[in-house]
Amino acid sequence: MILRFLIWALLSSSVCVAAEPILPLHSVATDERKVALGRQLFFDTRLSHSNEVSCASCHQLATHGADKVPRSKGVAGRLGDVRAPTVYNSVFNIRQAWDGKAIDLKAQVTLPVENPKEFATTWPELIATLNEDKSFVSAFKQVYKGGLSSDAISDAIAHYERSLITLNAPFDLWLQGKGPLSEQAQEGYRLFKYYGCINCHQGKNVGGNMFAKMGTFGDYFGDRGTPIEPADYGRYNVTKREADKFTFKVPGLRLAARQAYFFHDGSEQSLEGAIDTMARYQLGRSLSKAELKAIAAFLESLVGHHQEMTP
């Protein structure tokens, strides 16, 4: 009797999570003491030369964890080479940064610290600055054996970023049979799978777990109308393999519906415009307005919440 009931419950549920290419998000294990230190550091402008910018300057947590401009301003107003990606749910990415140059969140911390267009500092300069704050030094000694160091700073920020997961998205609740999903969003999900978007955007973060060439079915960079820049070479800048030119880490789409700009170059400002561009250059398809709106509704349903976000 119990077995028959379980089979009935499984078959009668609207969606079987295990059968879907997208999985609900979940929290990951963190050390709360390190998370607290990491949060302080994330908002601390002392991480940059002349105390001008912080991690939070380019990764605005109240909205979408990315920037509201196509290219972020670093020290002395210098513009970055690519659009700042969202830091939310980044723990689920196979690698960090558009070109995947950082193997994990901890390794990623060094990138802005030493980048002359971002924090424009060095670890010795940064640690010397923080060492002047005795309460900060004491707090680190309580959590890390070696006290304040580049490794401890990177680890603390990485722990905080590991905690930045947007839970309870309408789509996730629907997957688990815990909530409704609009017919338009369900149709968008069906189209998302039918047209092949799911081939690159799947898993917990709906992306972030593979690399792909920008412009599989068309000359994206030629049609863009602006000169190719070094950052446009993507993964090639890391591997120096010709086959990796114009290849980037596929972005997770969990907060795509909240983004202000899209793609590594920030060349698109509208969600439906970004969907249309991806359909044309990555799938070789032309979508109707109704299809664009349905897929946009699906992407909207992927937006979950975190306590750092404004309700």
Write out pLDDT tens, residues 240-264: 999 999 999 999 999 999 999 999 9
Residue 192 to residue 291: CA distance in whole angstroms: 9
What pLDDT score does 311 carry? 81
Write out pLDDT tens, residues 40-93: 999 999 999 999 999 999 999 999 999 999 999 999 999 999 999 999 999 999
Look up residue 211 and give its DSSP letter: E
Whole-Å CA distances, 164 to 38, 132, 157, 160, 232: 11, 29, 11, 7, 28
Residue 273 to residue 90: CA distance in whole angstroms: 24
What sign results for the dihedral spanned by CA atoms 167, 213, 94, 59?
Answer: negative
Span between the terminal Cα atoms of the chain, in Å: 45
Q: Over 31-65, what HEC string results?
A: CHHHHHHHHHHHCCHHHCHHHCCCHHHHCCCCCCC
Amino acid at 218: G
Residue 246 to residue 98: CA distance in whole angstroms: 11
Residue 117 to residue 94: CA distance in whole angstroms: 25
* SS3 assignment, position 75: helix
DSSP bridge pairs for 252: none
Report whether pLDDT(39) > 70. Answer: yes
Q: What six digits make up the tokens of 309? A: 């976000």
Report whether pLDDT(8) > 80. Answer: no
Report whether pLDDT(302) > 80. Answer: yes
* SS3 assignment, position 71: coil
Q: Are 253 and 259 in contact (CB under 8 A)?
A: no
Residue 256 to residue 94: CA distance in whole angstroms: 18
Per-residue DSSP letters for 229-260?
-GGGGBTHHHH--GGGTTEEEPPP-TTGGG-S
Q: What is the mean pLDDT of the chain?
A: 94
Name the band, by pLDDT with cuts 50, 70 and 90, for residue 13.
very low
Report whether pLDDT(10) > 70. Answer: no
Q: Are 109 and 153 in contact (CB under 8 A)?
A: yes
Exactly one of 20, 32, 118, 187 is catalytic; name it. 118
**Known catalytic membership, residue 300:** no
Q: The pTM is what? A: 0.93
From 19, 15, 10, 61, select the one nearest 185 (Cα to Cα).
15
Residue 49 to residue 53: CA distance in whole angstroms: 8
